[in-house]
């Protein structure tokens, strides 16, 4: 699954350059040009990582970072901060607000891409791996195959993406809307009930009856995948 990166940067030329280079690396990229809009974009669809400029119109980068860190659903969202100023005090302040990493402008795209990879690998190992395992379920993203306890599990493309997404965040509860955005995309109109249908199919494919159902239905909240409690 393509990691989704939100770039909050008000310098058009730099934003375009970032978008171009990150897309070339295989990331899905959305650009936001001020702090207020950036926070709205995060609310709309949770990114896998945020590249955040320090100096932004409306709401500053520091404030965006603080707000994201103060909310449960974005507390662990990876943030890489960009700044034009290189003073050590700023650097410390940047990390104090909870950014995961920090780059001083001007920086090379190679450097940024390396930092993004490193942060994603550290925080969401599942995103960078070709093979992801949780409990007795193993996904091979390259071969597009799923096994449970050594048994081959046959999934349709939507069920595969759904399982892939749930396995990146074991134990976390997702609403139907969040799953729709993440698996179907935020610009596709699909009814929330569709999620139930595909979760049903995924369950049926994963469970032969003898095993524990890995998908938990949380009443009025949504679904989560959890085999480890
Ligand atoms: Ca700026």
CA distances (Å), origin 155, targets 83, 195, 227: 45, 15, 19
How far away, in angstroms, is 223 Cα from ligand 1 center?
A: 39
Domain boundaries of the chain, sorted by first residue: 4-127, 129-225
Distance CA 203, CA 225 (A): 11
Q: Supply the CATH classification number for the domain 129-225.
A: 1.10.10.10
How far away, in angstroms, is 53 Cα from ligand 1 center?
A: 6
Distance CA 4, CA 108 (A): 21
How far away, in angstroms, is 56 Cα from ligand 1 center?
A: 5
How far away, in angstroms, is 32 Cα from ligand 1 center?
A: 11
Q: Supply the CATH classification number for the domain 4-127.
A: 3.40.50.2300
Q: Which of 159, 168, 186 is nearest to 42 (CA)?
A: 186
Confidence at residue 8, expressed as pLDDT on a 0 to 100 scale: 98
How far away, in angstroms, is 155 Cα from ligand 1 center?
A: 45
CA 17 from centre of chain: 21
Confidence at residue 189, expressed as pLDDT on a 0 to 100 scale: 77
Whether residue 78 has pLDDT greater than 70: yes
> Is the distance from CB of 61 to CB of 81 less than 8 angstroms?
yes
Whether residue 229 has pLDDT greater than 60: no
Could you give the 3-state DSSP secondary structure of residue 208? Answer: coil
Q: Which of 67, 127, 44 is nearest to 52 (CA)?
A: 67
Mean pLDDT of the region 15-39: 94
How far away, in angstroms, is 213 Cα from ligand 1 center?
A: 48
Mean pLDDT of the region 11-27: 93
Q: Note the pLDDT tens digit of each residue in 170-211.
A: 888 999 988 988 888 766 778 888 999 999 999 999 998 778
Mean pLDDT of the region 133-140: 89
Q: Note the pLDDT tens digit of each residue in 95-135.
A: 666 788 888 888 889 899 889 988 887 776 666 677 888 88
How far away, in angstroms, is 106 Cα from ligand 1 center?
A: 12
């Amino acid at each position: 699954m393509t990691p989704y990166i939100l770039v909050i940067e008000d310098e058009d030329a730099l934003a375009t350059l970032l978008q171009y280079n990150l897309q070339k690396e295989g990331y899905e990229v959305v650009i936001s040009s001020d702090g207020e809009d950036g926070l709205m974009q995060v609310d709309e669809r949770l990114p896998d990582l945020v590249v955040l400029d320090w100096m932004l119109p409306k709401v500053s980068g520091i404030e965006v970072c603080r707000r994201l860190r103060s909310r449960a659903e974005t507390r662990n969202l990876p943030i890489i901060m960009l700044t034009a100023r290189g003073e050590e005090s700023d650097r410390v302040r940047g990390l104090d607000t909870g950014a995961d990493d920090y780059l001083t402008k001007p920086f090379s795209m190679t450097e940024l891409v390396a930092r993004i990879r490193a942060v994603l690998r550290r925080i969401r190992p599942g995103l960078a791996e070709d093979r992801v395992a949780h409990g007795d379920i193993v996904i091979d993203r390259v071969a597009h195959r799923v096994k449970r306890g050594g048994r081959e599990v046959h999934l349709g493309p939507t069920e595969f993406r759904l399982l892939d997404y749930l396995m990146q965040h074991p134990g976390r509860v997702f609403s139907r809307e969040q799953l729709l955005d993440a698996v179907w995309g935020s610009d596709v109109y699909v009814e929330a009930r569709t999620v139930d249908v595909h979760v049903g199919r995924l369950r049926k494919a994963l469970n032969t009856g003898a095993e524990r159902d890995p998908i938990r239905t949380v009443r009025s909240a949504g679904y989560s995948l959890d085999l480890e409690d």
